[in-house]
Chain A
Amino acid sequence: MCTRRQFLVGSVFGLTLSDALAHARGARAKSCILVWLNGGPSHLDMFDLKPDAPIEVRGPFKPGRTPLDGVRVSEHLPRIAKRLDTATLIRSLTSPEGNHDRATHHLLTGYRPTPALAYPALASVAAREFGVGKALPNSIAIPVPPPGSGAGYLTAAFDPFSVNSDPSRGFRVKDLDAPVPEDRLERRKAMLAAVDRFARGVEELPGRDTFLEQAFGLVTSRESRAAFDLEREDPKSRARYGGSRIGQSCLLARRLVEAGARFVTVNDDGWDTHDNAWNRLAGTFNQGKVVYRGKLPDLDEAVSALLEDLADRGLLESTLVVVMGEFGRTPKLNSIGGRDHWPRANSVLLAGGGAKRGQVVGETDALGELPALRPVMPEDLLATVYHLLGIDAGKEYRTSTGRPVKILEGGEVIREALA
């Protein structure tokens, strides 16, 4: 129930009516940062270790302590481990799709892929529900959305805005800077308005005016441009996230959320560890001339800094952080020092934005093969995220053929994950 008085109070703080309604539905999160570990992070080497399993399953990593009784995670994630008292760790996500793009589509849309219809992913539903945004787009992908996720039948107008650049090296958002000084940009804007005014009979071009207004807003808004400018960040704070791609991407995500963006996807590659997994995850490995540090220390630094920074700035309560990838990896090690695709068991970290603090939901069996307790389907996870964001997952969209399709079909909110 939203009384007139509450509504007025809400308006004072700049909430729109739809925000107020979302709040009334129990929304806790204003924004969401999805940290997507593209390729399939190994649940057995990160959040769901099986130290008592046979050697061909358990792998070389040792379990490390967390503040939660009896809960251990990989020794290579010590900082995230320390923050687990602020998060919900789900260990029983399970899905049937073992191909990267299909699994991603399933996990981010809530629907199994079908040739008949491409469903919109979380980031596009957010763009649609939150509006395209004025000076800052409401859905942003760093650097691009994960393959297999997209706007589907909602069309390209609801694709997230891709920054198309790596925040850790020479970061520059494509086409954000006007090639002419401010006074000429203003002149161009005025000239364009005049040309359009004279245009003979061409009153409407669908979507064009919206994007033009947004583009001018983005290019000319100091606040928006500042949000994308990592050089403005305090060097200490910058260093805290680590110099890695995922670290600087998480930092950029925080800056964007702070500036008002509603949904930011950090899409990090390199998690498809079929071979040489221990070096890829925790050691060093060479790719051509570049020597990479392992994925886990980078992730540990990035996500722990993100959670701490958001908390320090008072943003964690209103920002839901989701860390996951499209599937887990085979319990049994393969012959080339890695693990292959395993969608039947996967782990997810939820923090802030109304997710419950300090608990583990679900567990897998002794070998980490299948959920043994509280299986969570992709649609259940998405239902939970939509619930926290105040998006009504039962809402029906219409496809181009007029077929009614709900945002989600049949997912149930994971009640125990809610604060």
Chain B
Amino acid sequence: MIAAAALFALAAAQETDFPNDVLPHLTRLGCNSGSCHGSATGQKGFKLSLLGYDAGHDWRAITRELRGRRVDLAEPEKSLVLRKPLRELKHGGGKLIEADSEAHRVLLGWIRAGAPFRGPKPADLVRIEAEVGRVTAHYSDGSSRDVTRLALLASNDDAIADADGTVKSPGETSIMVRYGGHVAAVKVGKPFGPATRIAGRKNQVDDPIDAKLSAFGLEAAGPCDDAAFLRRATLDALGRLPAVEEARAFDGDRDVLVDRLVGGEEWVSYWTYLWSRLLEAKTPEFRAWVRTRIGGRYDALVRSLLVDEPHLYLGRDDPKRLSETVGQMFLGARWACAQCHNHPFERFSRRNYYEMASYFARVRVRGGKVDLEPRGELELEGKAVLPPFGSSVDRRDDLAAWVVANDAFARAAANRVWAILMGRGLVEPVEDLRASNPATHPELLDALAREFRRDFSIPNLVRLVMKSAAYARKPGKDDPFYGARAVKPLTAEVLADAIVQATGGGVPRAIDALENPHPLLAGQSLARTLNLMNGEWLNGRLRAEPVETLYLRTLSRSPSPEERAQWSGKDEDYLKDLHWALLNSKEFGSNH
């Protein structure tokens, strides 16, 4: 008993290090959250760094500003930093601490000790370790401590689990753990029922998918029929519907179909469109260049885009925008927030942000050409920021080599290809790969990235996914277990092309045009719905053809007996109205 009390007193006496002992309490209490003093403009004249990323700044704000009233060394109890959250004084944030609570004790003890920045034995936090119900901090002097109660925990899906890891309903999510600028994620969840057996494996893609379905007690939908597979595969590979003749001729050999569709000229056109959107390729020259490269090695494409070609730089010569673009396009990283504050969910600081941008510090764009200046540096807080690695004359060589060798590069590409084909990324949002946002199937993302790294071939990766059983399931509930095929709305360009095709028209294709030549708007909206319902563009194309032909043209399948029985009319208006209904249907407007 005595020993415990003595130990407690000793610990209390040592808790005078601002970054390690005091700041975690402020973060835990929410003082430096984005909606309180951590906002860009602070709150009522008191500004702290967001979630405490800048301990030095926060220490100065607390101990030096407002003529020392925030901490009163002569009468520690009178310090504003205590009286406000105790609600002894008016505080917009309300009462945050109780008298004699741990937070109160630590803050008061720290002020009594003279409110120093560092305690007697300063050590830096080097990493955190998280498991369900326990977070451990490890320091540079080899020590560690349990910080479970001080860490910030957030559930990525609070319908499934609470932040403390308590699972509320079947399913899986992760708990994001943040402490002292470090992040980690812990997966939590529980099955829907007893383990199931998943049949129909086709390739290595299916192993992690099936294992998870099985572990969570879920069933998998059976394979879709041949007509559905042909429509799905043609839309995903070529961005168009199968022609009526193709639908009639398909013999059901799916792997042969995939090999035939992927990698050919039409595939190149459609994937140029997809990748041009991602690369923001808005000029004909840029798109034409993507077209020549999309079927080849992706690492070479990116290296060439960063170093040899002007396309990426035109209209985008600010080093900071360029580095954000590189992060987002090629590494699936969102860096933009770090221009102003350290990334709140990632270990990426403002300094890192400027370091990345420094690779473009000497790039100048003049008259459609990229030049390199002999000198020039970015500055952060008045000091030049230099590249952290590499020594090439053209710094972009170093950056490009680093990007394509980066682990995130292959993962980001694999995640994109997966999302295009399967309707959702293994990591969502697709451009937000980070430790605190783990993949639903980490082993699958690793495997796809490993496979991709062999030859950096997008077509090969596409074929691999399209030949899996997971890709070929019947449509149904869209969830991250892939027990059924997700239903994807057609993009504006693909829908426009599909309407042209389903009404007997031909080229030019909207996916090849820079400006959408069709009056279709992107995204679901009232204006788009009205346009498809009443607009001349669609209504002027309607055809009066036999029901069988209309079904094959629009839905790429024959009508079922029930459907045949439903459509009894024969006159021109009737058939045109049916064509209209088919073109406005959910089955037509989606890839399923």
- Measured CB to CB, the residues of A under 8 A from B are 114-116, 132, 137, 155-157, 159, 161-162, 164, 174-180, 184, 187-188, 191-192, 194-196, 198-208, 211-212, 214-216, 218-219, 400-402, 404, 406, 409-410
Q: Does the CB pair B586–A208 fall under 8 Å? A: yes
A176 in contact with B529 given A184-B573, A184-B577, A205-B589 (CB within 8 Å): no
Q: Which of A176, A401, A409 contacts B530 (CB 8 A)?
A: A176
Categorize the interface residue count of chain B.
35 or more
Return B109 CB to nearest CB of chain A, in Å: 33
Q: Does the CB pair A188–B432 fall under 8 Å? A: no
Q: Does the CB pair A175–B592 fall under 8 Å? A: no
Q: Does the CB pair B429–A400 fall under 8 Å? A: yes
A195 in contact with B522 given A176-B530, A200-B475, A201-B474 (CB within 8 Å): no
Q: Does the CB pair B475–A178 fall under 8 Å? A: no
Q: Does the CB pair A406–B35 fall under 8 Å? A: yes
Return A381 CB to nearest CB of chain B, in Å: 17
A178 in contact with B533 given A195-B587, A201-B474, A205-B589 (CB within 8 Å): yes
Q: Does the CB pair B526–A132 fall under 8 Å? A: yes
Return A218 CB to nearest CB of chain B, in Å: 7
- Chain A residues with Cβ under 8 A from B283's Cβ? none
- Chain A residues with Cβ under 8 A from B429's Cβ? 400-401
- The stretch that binds A, out of B22-30, B74-82, B397-405, B560-568, is B560-568
Q: Does the CB pair B524–A208 fall under 8 Å? A: yes
- Chain B residues with Cβ under 8 A from A188's Cβ? 577, 580-581
Q: Does the CB pair B487–A204 fall under 8 Å? A: yes
B474 and chain A: residue at smallest CB distance: A201
Q: In the complex, A298 Cα to B304 Cα: how many Å? A: 56
The answer to whether B186 has its CB under 8 Å from any CB of chain A is no
The answer to whether B373 has its CB under 8 Å from any CB of chain A is no
Contact with A along B515-549 (1 / 0, CB 8 A): 00000011111111111011110010000000000
Q: Does the CB pair A211–B585 fall under 8 Å? A: no
- Chain A residues with Cβ under 8 A from B530's Cβ? 174-176, 215, 218-219
Q: Does the CB pair A202–B522 fall under 8 Å? A: no
Return A366 CB to nearest CB of chain B, in Å: 30
- Chain B residues with Cβ under 8 A from A137's Cβ? 526
A115 and chain B: residue at smallest CB distance: B336
The answer to whether B489 has its CB under 8 Å from any CB of chain A is yes
Q: Does the CB pair B529–A211 fall under 8 Å? A: yes
The answer to whether B476 has its CB under 8 Å from any CB of chain A is yes
Q: Does the CB pair A206–B489 fall under 8 Å? A: yes
Could you name 10 residue pairs across A and B whose Cβ atoms are closer than 8 Å?
A: A116-B339, A192-B584, A195-B582, A198-B566, A199-B586, A207-B524, A215-B529, A401-B334, A401-B432, A404-B35
Q: Does the CB pair B489–A205 fall under 8 Å? A: yes
Q: In the complex, A191 Cα to B484 Cα: how many Å? A: 28
A208 in contact with B475 given A201-B487, A215-B530 (CB within 8 Å): no
A157 in contact with B581 given A179-B534, A208-B589, A218-B530 (CB within 8 Å): no
Contacts A192-B580, A192-B581, A212-B584 known; list 13 others, CB within 8 Å. A115-B321, A116-B339, A132-B526, A156-B521, A175-B534, A178-B533, A178-B534, A192-B584, A198-B566, A200-B587, A201-B474, A201-B485, A401-B432
- Chain B residues with Cβ under 8 A from A161's Cβ? 526-527
B490 and chain A: residue at smallest CB distance: A205
- Chain A residues with Cβ under 8 A from B531's Cβ? 174-175
The answer to whether B228 has its CB under 8 Å from any CB of chain A is yes
Q: Does the CB pair A215–B475 fall under 8 Å? A: no
- Chain B residues with Cβ under 8 A from A203's Cβ? 487
A162 in contact with B534 given A188-B580, A191-B581 (CB within 8 Å): no
Contact with A along B466-478 (1 / 0, CB 8 A): 0000000011101
Return B328 CB to nearest CB of chain A, in Å: 10
Return B484 CB to nearest CB of chain A, in Å: 8
Q: Does the CB pair A191–B578 fall under 8 Å? A: yes
- Chain A residues with Cβ under 8 A from B484's Cβ? 201
- Chain A residues with Cβ under 8 A from B140's Cβ? none
Return A407 CB to nearest CB of chain B, in Å: 12
Q: Does the CB pair A202–B586 fall under 8 Å? A: yes
Return B92 CB to nearest CB of chain A, in Å: 12
Q: Does the CB pair A175–B581 fall under 8 Å? A: no
Q: In the complex, A10 Cα to B156 Cα: how many Å? A: 39
The listed residue with most A CB atoms (<10 A of its CB), out of B324, B478, B525, B560, is B525
- Chain B residues with Cβ under 8 A from A180's Cβ? 573, 577
Q: Does the CB pair A201–B475 fall under 8 Å? A: yes
B338 and chain A: residue at smallest CB distance: A116
Return B284 CB to nearest CB of chain A, in Å: 25
The answer to whether B39 has its CB under 8 Å from any CB of chain A is yes
Q: Does the CB pair B487–A202 fall under 8 Å? A: yes
- Chain A residues with Cβ under 8 A from B35's Cβ? 404, 406
Q: In the complex, A194 Cα to B41 Cα: how many Å? A: 56
- Chain B residues with Cβ under 8 A from A208's Cβ? 489, 524, 529, 586, 589
Q: Does the CB pair A156–B585 fall under 8 Å? A: no
Return A210 CB to nearest CB of chain B, in Å: 8
Return B503 CB to nearest CB of chain A, in Å: 15
Q: Which of B156, B432, B475, B566 contacts A202 (CB 8 A)?
A: B475
A156 in contact with B524 given A174-B530, A205-B589, A401-B334 (CB within 8 Å): yes
Q: Does the CB pair B586–A116 fall under 8 Å? A: no
